[in-house]
Amino acid sequence: MRPKDNSFEESHGDLFRSDLEQAQTEDILCLCWPIRSSGYKRFQHALPIDPSSMTRWRKRLGPDKIESSLLVAIDTAKEKNLLTERHVERVNVDTTVQEKAIAFPTDARLYHKVRRVLVKAAKKMDINLRRSYEQTGQKVFLKQGRYASAGQHNRAKKETKRLKTMLGCVIRDINASVPTRKGV
């Protein structure tokens, strides 16, 4: 490890001291792990810190202090002639897109979801259902997905029909339990 340089802490310590009591002084300039000066002579394959702790640190500071610390880091780099005009002529921006778990709304998924919503609403309104199909519905829904992914479309269709039947039973049960208004 290289010796600690206290000139930054002495000149800008008030900016960070209240929020970073638990952070080490050598990590104050650590805004992202690739520019962290670790003192090693060779590339290290492991991350210096856990990325989630870095996220918590940034949230604890807030956007204003992160921006001001970035400005201080840039000013310090300019003063020590570590940052020149050539370095800032071209900026690389990482626009990596992470995939989301978006599922296509199949009939089976919609039947299952509507049945779950109706059962939840019935419980909230104290409507006693003969059967809610909570456990059976979940099992049938999972079976349907497995059959469909395995290419067994006839079996998947049969499970979709069972989900539709369960939904119809819940709807009829709710309609029978709710008193109807006359004249409507």
Residue range 42-65, pLDDT digits in tens: 767 777 778 788 888 888 888 899
**Per-residue pLDDT at 161 exceeds 80:** yes
Give the pLDDT mean for 79-100: 80
* Residue 141: Cβ within 10 Å count: 22
Q: Residue range 112-120: average pLDDT?
A: 96
**What is the reported pTM?**
0.46
Asked if residue 119 lies in contact with residue 132, where contact means CB atoms within 8 angstroms, the answer is yes
Read off the pLDDT of each residue in 4-11 and give the average, rounded to a whole number.
54
pLDDT band, residue 7 (cuts 50/70/90): low
Q: What is the mean pLDDT of residues 113-130?
A: 94
Mean pLDDT value across residues 102-108:
85
Residue 31 tokens, joined: 């805004």
Apex CA 56: angle with CA 60 and CA 96, to 5°? Answer: 120
**Residue corresponding to tokens 């479309």:** 153
Give Cβ neighbours of residue 103 (< 8 Å, ≥ 6 apart).
109
